[in-house]
Amino acid sequence: AQSVAQPEDQVNVAEGNPLTVKCTYSVSGNPYLFWYVQYPNRGLQFLLKYITGDNLVKGSYGFEAEFNKSQTSFHLKKPSALVSDSALYFCAVGNAGNMLTFGGGTRLMVKP
């Protein structure tokens, strides 16, 4: 069975500061890891994914994520937060059958 944990329900950060949203996973076999963002009353938007290769993955809107196999983590990062980044962020792990298991989500609040 595969699982994802997002240990923080909410992350607060000041605009212009770096942000990190944490994610740890458990899966047998190679992990396929994703980050999605959900704005209020909207669907999920794909941000980035890790399949193989470089541990640092760059995605949309200036976000990046670092895959750490030893710590089974895939934390989402951005060097300088914007108020418009405030949203609900989901980490997900996929298997070879492309079945995604999502974490519980982390609400990011960026304050001016």
CB of 52 to another protein, least distance (A): 8
Are 81 and 16 a contacting pair, CB within 8 Å?
Answer: yes
Tell me the C-alpha distance between 91 and 80, whole Å. Answer: 20
Residue showing tokens 């976000």 = 63
Q: Which amino acid is present at 80?
A: S
The contact pattern for another protein, residues 14-33, with x = CB under 8 A and - = no contact, is ----------------x-x-
| 88 binds another protein per the rule CB under 8 A | yes
Part in contact with another protein (CB under 8 A); list of ranges 16-24, 42-50, 62-70, 71-79: 42-50
Task: Extract the tokens encoding 59.
Answer: 């995605």
Residues 44-83 that bind another protein (CB under 8 A): 44-46, 49, 51
Would the CA dihedral through 35, 37, 90, 42 be positive or negative? negative
Residues that bind another protein (CB under 8 A): 30, 32, 34, 36, 38, 41-46, 49, 51, 88, 90, 94-102, 104-105
